[in-house]
Amino acid sequence: MNEDTQRRLITMSSTVLAGFLASRLAERLINVPEERGVKDDIKEAMLKAGFSLVSTIVASIAVRQLLGRRWK
């Protein structure tokens, strides 16, 4: 599998994984007050950034280690 295809797979799978994690867990981890403030927005942004980071790492490992071996 060439490098461009691997990058595309990593981008797509990490986006899906981050979206799934953020939508499922963000509401459970953040107590949403009646009136949101800047602190609440910062918490949400940091949580989503963390999900994005973790999902990119997981997708990269999966694509490069698991799928990369099959196509060599």
Q: Each residue of 16-29: pLDDT tens digit?
A: 888 887 777 767 77
For 39-72, the pLDDT digits (tens) are: 878 888 888 888 889 888 988 888 888 776 655 5
Is the Cβ–Cβ distance between 6 and 63 less than 8 Å?
A: yes
CA dihedral 40, 45, 51, 54 (to 10 degrees): -130
For 30-47, the pLDDT digits (tens) are: 776 678 788 878 888 888
Task: Tell me the C-alpha distance between 43 and 58, whole Å.
Answer: 23
Task: Tell me the C-alpha distance between 21 and 1, whole Å.
Answer: 28
Q: Where are the domains of the chain?
A: 3-70
